[in-house]
Amino acid sequence: MSPAQQATEFPRSPYALIRKTALTLQRHERLTLFCIVLPPLGALCGLWWIERLPAELVAAAMIAFGLFTLRLSAISAAEPVAASRIDRTLAAKDVFLTLATCERTEPQPLRSLVEAEAESRGTNVEARRFVGPIRGAPLARSLLYSALGFLLLAMAPAELRPLTASESRLVAIARELESRSDLHDQALGENLHDVLHILRDRTLREMEKATKVREVLAKLESEGGEAQGASGKGTKQGSETAKQGEKGGAENGPNGQGLRGQAQKELEEIANSLTRSSTSEGSSEPSENGKSSDHEKKRKEGGGIQGPGGKPGTKERSDRGDGNRPGEPPLEGKQPGESLQPTTGGREHRGAGERPSQGRSPDLSGTGNSQGGGEQPLADSNSPAAERFYKPGDGRQSPRIANGRYVRVRVPEESPGKGATEVVQKPGNTAPETSYGNAPLPGPGSPGEVREMQPLPLEYRDVLGSRS
């Protein structure tokens, strides 16, 4: 190495050596810190990838880590630290520390002596000599703790998972709706909360979640359509009132209609993202995917919930899994009893080893997992038909059903012209046999025993009559 090169390579004065060592130390500290910070960042990214942490939180953590690393490296790599390293390496008895820390502006009669001693200790030394290798112990600790944290967060219950931005917005809308006096708004708020629970349910697949979200979305749309229809049919005064309502909604911001619009938007976004993710992950399950898309197509053509939708009984009926799920087009042209027959596909899926419906939510994905139950035996609670009912504690969106059984009812028919008397058809004359009621029925032999064959009360005639 030439002297010129040496002059550029090695600092000549002790102060230059201290400065250069401090810089080298700073770079080394940053590298070490980067190596230490890398595993937790990787764990955060992994948690984001498996959707256990929202992207916002991961981004914030990464920024915080970055700032912390910069701050820490700036602190630890000050010149006194570098001077101490040099002293220790060269056994210089704190001569470099003295030069690095004593003010140069103060008159020090012996400074020249100290500087000369520092130079005699050897300033022609590479600064890298004073910087050791990257410490392995902190790195190993960082790896270990990151792996543990990743596993803990990955296996933590869904309730502990932080909310994503869209989920947070959904919660805010739901709370706002629930705080309103309007019963419809409150019901919608509860529905949104249920959607949130479904979204955070790890046992459900993306497709199932998407279907559930779309159900709520369709309900929301249908309610909005009914409201618009009602206002359209009204008088001039009614239309004016509706206009005023819309205007007020636009002006007042988060009133009922505005919140509904926001909720619709959020739900659409969530449903779309879930559909996208289910499409991407569902490439290995073409049959389900196909059915789902068909189902979605049908739903779009059908225009949402029909039949008794909008009435309180609709949800219960759909939750019972009676074959007419919300969002599915009505089974027109069929008798109610026929429409409730289980599909062959559903049986095939059950036979093909699908997860049993017990212990989880009813199948809402449109894959035919739900079973018809109209022809199932009534008294045998151990029969497969019993699986159609929720177990106690299941089904967040539906009322709790326990020990349900099917009964056969006879639909009374009105005899025209004889409005005063009611002619009840004999058993067997009634064409449809449909499930009715979800309350636990008294067992055989107990007071109030429900017989297998019984007439349908008149007040439910409309309900069943709407199917025919």
What is the binding site for other proteins (CB under 8 A)? 80, 84, 93-95, 97-98, 100-102, 108-114, 116-117, 119-120
**How are beta strands 453-455 and 408-410 bridged, if at all?**
parallel
Q: Is the CB of 112 or the CB of 181 nearer to other proteins?
A: 112
CA 462 to CA 311: how far, in whole Å? 12
DSSP designation for 458: G
Contact between 405 and 379 under an 8 Å Cβ cutoff? The reply is yes
- Nearest partner of 335 among 454, 196, 241, 432, judged by Cα: 432
Q: Which is nearer to other proteins, 119 or 354 (CB)?
A: 119
- Can you tell me which residue has the tokens 């225009």? 303
> Least distance to other proteins from the beta carbon of 4, Å?
26
Q: Please, which residue, 84 or 365, has the CB nearer to other proteins? A: 84
CB 196 within 8 A of CB 174: yes
Nearer to other proteins (CB atom), residue 103 or residue 332? 103
Taking the complex as a whole, how short is the minimal distance between the CB of residue 164 and other proteins, in angstroms? 47
Dist. CA 225–CA 140, nearest whole Å: 61
Q: How far apart are CA 402 and CA 390, in angstroms?
A: 7
Rounded Cα distance, 270 and 213, in Å: 8
- Would you say 81 or 441 has its CB closer to other proteins? 81
Least distance (Å) from other proteins to the CB of residue 75? 15
User: Is 117 or 338 the residue whose CB approaches other proteins more closely?
Assistant: 117
Distance (Å, whole) CA 285 – CA 352: 14
Alpha carbon distance 102, 108 (integer Å): 9
Pick the closer one to other proteins by CB: 79 or 266.
79
* Alpha carbon distance 329, 138 (integer Å): 62
CB of 107 to other proteins, least distance (A): 10
Query: Within the chain, how many helices (H) and strands (E) appear?
Result: 17, 2
Distances (CA, A) of 290 to 274, 293, 367: 16, 5, 9
Contact predicate 288/365, CB 8 Å: yes
The residue (of 5 and 112) whose beta carbon lies closer to other proteins is: 112
Least separation in angstroms between CB 259 and other proteins:
58
**How far apart are CB 68 and other proteins at their closest, in Å?**
24
CB of residue 86 to other proteins, shortest distance in Å = 13
DSSP structure class, residue 410: E
Residue 423 sits at φ, ψ, to 5 deg, of -100, 120
Least separation in angstroms between CB 113 and other proteins: 4
